[in-house]
């Protein structure tokens, strides 16, 4: 991602309302810096245009267009592929994690004037269409009649969950500089969100040190220590020891 696209991401996630599709596409600029974000948005427009008459059952019309004709869905293997967490790749491949497929459904629905919101359940994300119809985009839009109607996953929380999924994926992968770089950008984007766990500051510092930026990493670890020392003195001292160790590598 370029400085310009990160700046754009920062602005988008703090706007009201958040342009969720744009924010998700800007995440993709981390792996594809030349990504034409605006062109990718037109894919959602085209999907919305392909939805047939809504009638009295918008969920059915969306299911035919997205789960049927466009074949959006997912499988177990998608959980081990970072492309499943990148909206532009999900639009290209028609495959993704539940949370990104939910974004596709909600964005297409909105373009047709249909109220749809993602539901953040433990370990899964569904979509509520209208007042009480719940569907599972990961399974082609299958209806889930007994699903809860809450909690709605608001855009900042959804974006943090997307980035957390990417960080979790790198933790399952073989340790390498490439996985460290991926985890670093996911961490740094998380820190641009209005609300994020303070522990991400420590994670960023550790990743910078691992990738050879000892001064930058030490500075971040020291900043983290200052933030948490009133609540957890031991945690702060551990971070400061890490910072001292990082600076010592420069001697």
pLDDT number for residue 250: 80
Mean residue pLDDT across the chain: 96
Alpha-carbon distance 106 to 128, whole Å?
Answer: 9
Q: Which residue has the tokens 């949370």?
A: 99
Neighbours of 39 (CB within 10 A): 10
SS3 category, 151: coil
pLDDT in tens, 110-163: 999 999 999 999 999 999 999 999 999 999 999 999 999 999 999 999 999 999
pLDDT in tens, 171-202: 999 999 999 999 999 999 999 999 999 999 99
Cis (ω within 30 of 0) for the bond into 251?
no
Neighbours of 113 (CB within 10 A): 9
Residues 184 and 204: beta-carbon distance below 8 Å: yes
214-228 and 199-210 are packed helices; what angle lies between their axes, rounded to 10 degrees? Answer: 160
């Amino acid at each position: 991602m370029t400085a310009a696209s990160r700046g754009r991401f920062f602005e988008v996630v703090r706007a009201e309302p958040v342009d969720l599709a744009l924010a998700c596409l800007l995440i993709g600029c981390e792996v594809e810096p030349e990504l034409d974000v605006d062109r990718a948005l037109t894919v959602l427009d085209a999907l919305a245009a392909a939805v047939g008459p809504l009638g009295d059952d918008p969920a059915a019309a969306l299911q035919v267009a997205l789960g049927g004709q466009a074949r959006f869905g997912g499988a177990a293997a998608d959980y081990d592929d970072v492309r499943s967490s990148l909206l532009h790749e999900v639009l290209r491949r028609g495959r993704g994690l539940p949370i990104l497929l939910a974004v596709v459904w909600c964005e297409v629905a909105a373009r047709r004037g249909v109220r749809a919101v993602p539901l953040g359940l433990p370990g899964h994300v569904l979509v509520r269409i209208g007042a009480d119809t719940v569907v599972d985009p990961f399974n082609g839009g299958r209806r889930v009649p007994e699903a809860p109607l809450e909690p709605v996953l608001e855009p900042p929380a959804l974006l943090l969950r997307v980035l957390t999924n990417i960080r979790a994926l790198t933790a399952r992968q073989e340790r390498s500089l490439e996985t460290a770089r991926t985890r670093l950008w996911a961490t740094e984007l998380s820190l641009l969100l209005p609300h994020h766990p303070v522990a991400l500051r420590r994670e960023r510092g550790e990743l910078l040190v691992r990738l050879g930026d000892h001064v930058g990493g030490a500075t971040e670890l020291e900043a983290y220590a200052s933030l948490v020392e009133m609540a957890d003195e031991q945690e702060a001292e551990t971070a400061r020891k890490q910072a001292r160790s990082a600076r010592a590598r420069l001697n």
